[in-house]
């Protein structure tokens, strides 16, 4: 299955919410977990952005990764980048989301 793909316009706010569910689609309580996420170039694995993580809705299985316009403005144009989310559970076990591909485009309006 190919990785999900998201397009972002350079210089815009990036924000994506991830809903974590169990095998019967019930939200997983992630309130005691920790999270990390980096955006990297596919071709070189160079880290471009460390996303901010909003876990205020973790108890209902939701976390949000985001980056402000200042961080997305200098992303390389027309490039494929990739990120995932690292989840660390209360016992220290580490889990990862699927890879998500992010492609950039130039904004039209200034």
Each residue of 23-75: pLDDT tens digit?
999 999 999 999 999 999 988 888 999 999 999 999 999 999 999 999 999 89
Domains of the chain (ranges, CATH numbers): 5-105 (2.60.40.10)
**Residue with the two structure tokens 């220290």:** 92
Average pLDDT estimate for 101-110: 82
Is-contact 48 97, C-beta < 8 A?
Answer: no
The string of DSSP codes covering 37-81 is -EEEETTT--EEEEPEEE-TTGGGTEEEEEE-HHHHTTSPTT-EE
pLDDT score, position 63: 96
State the pTM of this model: 0.87
Is-contact 38 46, C-beta < 8 A?
Answer: no
């Amino acid at each position: 299955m190919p990785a999900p793909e998201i397009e972002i316009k350079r210089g815009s706010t990036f924000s994506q919410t991830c809903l974590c569910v169990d095998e019967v689609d019930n939200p997983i309580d992630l309130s005691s977990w920790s999270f990390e996420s980096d955006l990297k170039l596919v071709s070189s694995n160079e880290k471009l952005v460390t996303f901010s993580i909003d876990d205020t809705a973790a108890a209902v299985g939701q976390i949000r990764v985001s980056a402000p316009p200042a961080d997305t403005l200098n992303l390389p144009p027309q490039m494929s980048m990739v990120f995932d989310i690292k989840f660390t559970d209360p016992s220290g076990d580490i889990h990862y989301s699927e890879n998500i591909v992010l492609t950039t485009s130039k904004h039209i309006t200034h």
